[in-house]
């Protein structure tokens, strides 16, 4: 019983950013520094060079995606840049019940859905210094076609405009400074009393 009462609940940390804002790099650093569970999404897009099935994404076809969607497999899902993406619900619930915080790399539409279903979730939005800089980074990445770059820039504009409801917003101008802010926000969020409901009473010897 004492063991159960002292349990800390894990919480969802949702990180959103327009494509090319440096989100993946910041997320990788956070995962290297803390024992976070990364939520591996399903997607219908094709793997890029260097991506591994089951690690970066679960790569599935459209028919299978729709089948899973119908059976309630996803905590949220969205169509992004012409492909389907969705978060498997059960692994998230299992990790949180185990006291692990779960990191989500999803788009703004998915984040809005999670804000309704996961009440302990915290939401961070990463801004690029400017739209021009975002375009420069996307082109330098060399992974996207011209059509994909144009689509990602148009999406970036609307995502940035919908960032006002997030719990935190930070500008990735300097990577180290942006990472310090993300790290601080994560640590502060993880200290919320509601995640450790029995801690105060235990300190008083009352549990």
Binding site residues, ligand 5GP, CB under 6 A: 19, 41, 45, 76, 78, 80-81, 85-87, 105-107, 109-110
Tell me whether residue 144 or residue 167 sits nearer to ligand 5GP (CB atom): 144
Minimum distance of ligand 5GP from residue 109's CB (angstroms): 6
Closer Cβ to ligand 5GP, 103 or 195, answer by number? 103
CA–CA separation, 171 and 129 (whole Å): 6
41 vs 181, beta carbon nearer ligand 5GP = 41
Strands 58-59 and 42-43: parallel
DSSP codes, 16-77: E--TTSSHHHHHHHHHHHS-PEE---EESSPPPTT--BTTTBEE--HHHHHHHHHTT-EEEE
Beta carbon of residue 30, minimum distance to ligand 5GP (angstroms, whole number)? 15
3-state secondary structure of 100: coil
Which is closer to ligand 5GP, CB of 2 or CB of 70?
A: 70
Sign (positive/negative) of CA torsion 142, 148, 150, 156?
A: negative
Q: CB of 99: closest distance to ligand 5GP in angstroms?
A: 23
CA distance 120 to 128: 27
Q: Is 17:125 a contact under the CB 8 Å cutoff?
A: yes
Minimum Å distance from CB 151 to ligand 5GP?
11
Given the complex with ligand 5GP, which of 79 and 201 has the nearer CB atom?
79
Minimal distance, residue 143 CB to ligand 5GP, in Å: 9
Specify the 3-state DSSP secondary structure of 128: coil
Q: Which residue's CB atom is positioned nearest to ligand 5GP?
A: 110
Question: Closest separation between CB of residue 87 and ligand 5GP, Å?
Answer: 4
Nearest residue (CB) to ligand 5GP, 37 versus 195: 37
Percentages helix, strand, coil for the chain, rounded to the nearest 5? 45, 20, 35
């Amino acid at each position: 019983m004492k063991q159960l009462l002292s349990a800390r609940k894990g919480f969802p940390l949702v990180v959103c950013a327009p494509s090319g804002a440096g989100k993946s790099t910041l997320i990788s650093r956070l995962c290297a520094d803390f024992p976070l569970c990364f939520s591996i999404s399903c997607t219908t897009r094709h793997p890029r060079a260097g991506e591994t099935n089951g690690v970066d994404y679960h790569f599935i076809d459209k028919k299978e995606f729709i089948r899973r969607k119908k059976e309630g497999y996803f905590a949220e899902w969205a169509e992004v840049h012409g492909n389907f993406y969705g978060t498997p619900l059960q692994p998230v619930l299992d990790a949180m019940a185990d006291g692990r915080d779960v990191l989500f790399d999803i788009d703004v539409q998915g984040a809005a859905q999670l804000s309704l279903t996961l009440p302990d979730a915290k939401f961070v939005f990463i801004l690029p210094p400017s739209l021009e800089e975002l375009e420069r980074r996307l082109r330098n990445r060399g992974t996207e076609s011209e059509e994909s770059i144009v689509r990602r820039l148009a999406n970036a504009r609307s995502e940035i405009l919908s960032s006002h409801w997030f719990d935190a917003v930070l500008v990735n101008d300097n990577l180290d400074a942006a990472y310090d802010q993300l790290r601080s926000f994560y640590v502060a969020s993880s200290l919320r009393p509601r995640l450790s409901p029995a801690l105060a009473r235990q300190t008083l010897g009352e549990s």
